[in-house]
Structure 1
Amino acid sequence: MPLSEEELRLLEQMERALSEEDPKFASTLRGTTLRQAARRRAVLAGLVFAVGVAVMMTGAVSSYWPVGVAGFVIMLASATILLSALRGQRAGTDPRVAAHPSGFGVVDGGRGRRGRSHDRSSGFMDTLHSRWRRRKGNSGF
């Protein structure tokens, strides 16, 4: 359900007042610091991954397998952190959140955090339910 003109005007006034009163908090709400933190984590994880490759290769060259295994574990952990940081960056560009001139995101009333496959199956089920209701209405039961 969209907001009325008056509600939008009041929301914009509240956002402006918040930005003027506490700019740091407003920038946090805009998500710029979250994206920067995710980017920083991704770069750091990439560097740690390179260190893990070096440790693993050192273990392979020196024929001391525990060092190689440790390098592999370092690579695995950093790759996991890297992927979660990249997902965190993508989460900031949620298609259900509409851009607002003030820089704040306004949720468009989507279905929450459900995946696309669930949305498709839900649409499929809605179609089946409507067909069932039409058949039941036309058959005279």
Structure 2
Amino acid sequence: MPLSEHEQRLLEQIEQALYAEDPKFASSVRSARPRNRARMMLVAAFVGVIAGLAVVLIGLTNNIIPLGVLGFVLIVGSCVAAASALRGPKTNGPIPLGPRSNDSRGSNKQSGLRNKMEDRMRRRFDES
């Protein structure tokens, strides 16, 4: 269920406040979740492939065709899960990395620093 515009604005304000208060913590929380989830998905996919191979071998040695097909489906599904884990999370657009730069209260020096920090964060997320 999508958030309303008001809820999205509130969420953005909370994210911006968190980023402004402790940018190191915010970036570590933001980057830790996908890595852990991807790692767990890869482990599960590896186990699925091994289990699928075992099921295929059991099906072939006992001449049980449906069991072999089930093992093959398990292998293919595990490979798809691994590929999606390696691809990374789906996003609908750029992730806001900090306070918006249309704030005219800051000096040129502060906005320059902010732009440098945002560029660094974008490069980090592009590398991951």
- Equivalent residues in 2 for 1:99-114 (5 A)? 100=117, 105-106=121-122
**Relative contact order (alpha carbons < 8 A, sep ≥ 6): 1 or 2 greater?**
2
Residue of structure 2 in register with 1:111 after alignment: none
Cα deviation, residue 46, structure 1: 0.8
Count of aligned pairs: 82
Specify the code of the residue in structure 1 equivalent to 2:44: L
More strand by share: 1
1:61 and 1:86, CA in 2 relative to 1: closer, same or farther beyond 3 A?
Answer: same
With normalisation by structure 1, the TM-score equals: 0.48
State the distance in 2 between where 1:14 and 1:37 align: 23
Residue of structure 2 in register with 1:49 after alignment: 49
Residue 63 of structure 1 aligns to a residue in which SS?
coil
Residue of structure 2 in register with 1:67 after alignment: 67
Q: Where does the alignment leave 5 or more consecutive residues of structure 2 unmatched?
A: 1-16, 92-115, 124-128
CA RMSD in angstroms, aligned pairs only: 3.3
- Equivalent residues in 2 for 1:4-83 (5 A)? 15-19=19-23, 23=25, 26-29=27-30, 31-83=31-83
Q: Where does the alignment leave 5 or more consecutive residues of structure 1 unmatched?
A: 1-12, 92-98, 108-141
Q: Displaced runs of 4+ in structure 1, greater than 2 A?
A: 13-16, 25-29
Identity of aligned residues (%): 27
Bigger CA radius of gyration:
1
With normalisation by structure 2, the TM-score equals: 0.52
